[in-house]
A = this chain, B = another copy of it.
Amino acid sequence: MAYKTRAQFVADDIRHRILSGEFPGGTQLRQDALAADYDVSRIPVREALLTLEAEGLVEFYPHRGAFTTELSVSKIRELFDLRVLLEGHLLRQAIPRMTEPALQKAGQILLEYDAALDSGSQIDNWSDYNFAFHEALYRPADLPEAMNLVSQLNTKSDRYIRMQLLYTREIEKAEREHHDLLEFSRQGKADAACELLERHILEACEGIVAVLEGRVQASQTPDTPHLERQK
């Protein structure tokens, strides 16, 4: 399937490369090199980078170029706290409005992934599945702006979630919790569901923080950001 514009294609691909860890935090993204990579001029590359800047994955320094951003532990904690707040809000609005087709849809996504899980490591796809399930769960709330914010938060933290999954084997646990979450939702137990959701998110957060802090002393010091943070 063809993309609408080259800028969009390039943006999607660079995003993937950042999220997959190919471009770690602090690396400079040279417009020339990327343009050559995709065999396009620098203009669509520039537009792609601007899009990614808006998503928080990239930061522009005037006349110095674009660099991938890096999140501190405190920022990661903040992002996950916000996820608790917003996703809790969404789930609480969604549960009373939950219809049978919506429940079916969410259940189907779970089953599909359960099957995929058995066939081997699917870390690359896990983020998408994860988000698809949560989205299906929140859809009945019919709050597109809130969903949009949640999506933003997910994009920003996605890199670190992947990293955690590479180091720990928490996918199965998350998957079990997803099943419980769906069951609570089916039964209309909003309080129990939200409580579980909060634990679900915060424990993932702590897992990431543990990996981050563990990795710092496991390998050498990680790449420091190439530039001092401005402002």
Contact of B46 with A78 in the complex, beta carbons under 8 Å: no
A212 to chain B, nearest CB (A): 17
Chain A binding surface SS class: helix
Please judge, given known A-B contacts A54-B54, A62-B4, A62-B5, whether A82 and B47 are in contact too, CB under 8 Å.
Answer: no
Chain A count of residues within 8 A CB distance of the other chain: 29
Once bound together, how far apart are the Cα atoms of A8 and B60, in whole Å? 12
Cα–Cα, bound, A4→B54 (Å): 18
Q: Which residues of B contact A89 (CB under 8 A)?
A: 82, 85
CA separation between A79 and B148, bound complex, in Å? 11
A112-154 interface mask toward B, CB cutoff 8 Å, 1 = contact, 0 = none?
Answer: 0000000000000000000000000000000111100100110
A145 lies within 8 A of B78 (CB): yes
Contacts of A55 in B (CB 8 A): 54
Give the Cβ gap from A80 to chain B, nearest Cβ, in Å. Answer: 10
Residues of B within 8 A of A156 (CB): 145
Cβ of A51 within 8 Å of any chain B Cβ, yes or no, is yes
Q: Point out the residues of chain B lying under 8 angstroms from A202, CB to CB.
A: none
Which residues of the other chain, B, contact A46 by a CB distance below 8 angstroms? 47
17 contacts between A and B (CB under 8 A): A4-B62, A4-B63, A5-B62, A5-B63, A47-B47, A47-B50, A50-B50, A53-B54, A54-B55, A75-B144, A78-B143, A78-B145, A79-B145, A82-B146, A82-B149, A85-B89, A149-B152
